[in-house]
Structure 1
Amino acid sequence: MINRFKLLPIPALVWIICLLFVNCKPKTQDQNPIQVQPEDSWIQLFNGKDIDDWTVKIHHYEVGDNFGDTFRVEDGLIKVRYDKYEGDFNGRYGHLYYNTPYSHYHLSMEYRFSDPWYDSAPGYTLLNSGLMFHSQDPRTMPKEQDWPISVEMQFLAEVNEGEERPTGNMCSPGTDVVFEGKVDPRHCISSTSKTYKPDEWVKAELIVHGDSLVTHIINGEKVLEYTHPQIGGGVANRYDERIKIDGKPLKEGFIALQSEGQPIEFRDIKLKVLEH
């Protein structure tokens, strides 16, 4: 038998071999290319200029109504202020939601408290704020729902000099978490963080793996860890009954900055999506 490849010039033979390899490549690789983000790929959630990518929901007001200019951008910061409020605070708890929900991610931000506290707000709100995550969509909240069904990374600062008041705690409006191997009935679980002065910038990080592991980090130190966030518990009121399905795992949700009577400032809010 004649070996036909010997009759072909070398360049033509190389061309045929390359063509065979191209034709054998799986079609799915062309149709569904996998795009992997670099390890250092951070998404800036706050552009330092405006909150156009965010949505406000304040108790007693319709979604989108930023009553009293509660959430505003000044000096490159997101600021929570009450100088345009009049009369009693009247439970006007508010939240500023980033418009994209996330599931597995590493969130990093900085905060510091400011003056003056709105003194008709409940006493526990003094030097108290937080970050909500795995939250329900604000558009699913009735006008009179006070707190979103979510998990909160709570921020606190020193009230009385020398008294411990850790920050980076966990609170659970309308939710439950598993802590030390069992569902914990407490609304809030304290972290092991240090106590910080009100005017000190504090770096808070949150590492969330869907409905699995959640880690709180304050100024580079791990201060709290728990698992299996899920719908349940109390505290949230006047919600849509169709939303609160107790026992349902919280695999993803919205991220929101809190206003509850205490002025606070936020900066350098960024997020890295994690593989899962």
Structure 2
Amino acid sequence: MSKIKVNDGTEIYYKDWGRGQPIVFSHGWPLSADDWDSQMMFFLNHGYRVIAHDRRGHGRSSQTSDGHDMDHYADDLAALTTHLDLKDAIHVGHSTGGGEVAHYIARHGESRVAKAVLISAVPPLMVKTPDNPGGLPKEVFDDFQAQVATNRAQFYWDVPAGPFYGYNRPGAKASQGVIQNWWRQGMMGGAKAHYDGVVAFSQTDFTEDLKKISVPTLVMHGDDDQIVPYANSGPLSAKLVKGAVLKTYEGFPHGMPTTNADQINADLLEFIKS
């Protein structure tokens, strides 16, 4: 397996396929690089070099006990792009991965970055605060942590079987394979990393990060996202990133890169080629 060792000794697993302009994919919580299978195969077949890593504590990367915060996530991504000497890269982040992409660009600059895409992403800020009244109450995320600490196996079934892919909506046709694959990815990772990661994705304020992004940016969000509610995320991020384009998907769920891969891939390709 391909891995790099970062400054604190953590090993980060990654996939690196093909040649051409690189597209780097950052996955959501609590998943792995495997969540990008549909996108990686699509863009590989369109002549791109596709790269995806398992965030620290997730998938096949080291199950470290600490470092599960956005600074470390961004630094690990920077270490990978430096190791692979990526240039003119397109960075695509889903959910927590969207926060990782925004923080990486703000923290490490745009010298290696051509474009950015935030899909169903957690920025600007998920948790409710006096300055962010549209956010979700902290108790929601406290419950996430409690479930991870005490009931992870069942929780990691209930999330994809319900709100993540919109399978709890009337008339929805749930894919057992998709649910099981989400569960598999989640259970590969470390409970401690996932527990701490809840704070990282919910309490990090990405407002200033978004303001620092100047590369062409596409914000993609479904208006039926039950994990990262649309109104307090996609539109606000698009306003904060100078020149960003917001693409709203009527009725699409949080996990739309999987459930609606054909549409998402086509729109990604159009943006990348533009």
TM norm. shorter chain > 0.5 = no
What is the TM-score with the length of structure 2 in the denominator?
A: 0.25
Higher strand fraction: Structure 1 or Structure 2? 1
